[in-house]
């Protein structure tokens, strides 16, 4: 599901800098707000299958788009 990923501009700005983590989460959440169909598709898959696996390629296990997406999904 490539389209659920943060925009290239946002990823490049973040550059996996933990100092930018809080702001990255907010900016990514804003982008996700415009991708409601994709978010709902993930939620449906979780409901149907019980588990959804989010992949990422960052070396930082705590500050990456999968973690930010998980936080977003849990909020709403």
Does residue 60 come out as left (phi exceeding 0), alpha (psi in the -120 to 50 range) or beta? beta
Sorted by where each begins, the domain ranges of the chain are: 2-75
Q: Quote the pTM value.
A: 0.92
The answer to whether residues 4 and 42 touch, using CB atoms and an 8 Å cutoff, is yes
**What is the average per-residue pLDDT within 68-76?**
93
Q: Which residue carries 């696996």 as its tokens?
A: 53
pLDDT given for residue 36 in this prediction: 96
CA distance 76 to 74: 6
pLDDT given for residue 54 in this prediction: 94
Q: Confidence band (pLDDT; 50, 70, 90) for 52? A: very high
């Amino acid at each position: 599901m490539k389209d659920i990923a943060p925009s290239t501009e946002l990823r490049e700005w973040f550059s996996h800098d933990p100092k930018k983590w809080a702001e990255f989460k907010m900016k990514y959440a804003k982008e996700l707000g415009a991708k409601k169909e994709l978010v709902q598709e993930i939620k449906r898959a979780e409901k149907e299958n019980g588990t959804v696996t989010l992949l990422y390629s960052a070396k930082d296990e705590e500050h990456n788009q999968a973690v930010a997406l998980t936080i977003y999904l849990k909020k709403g």
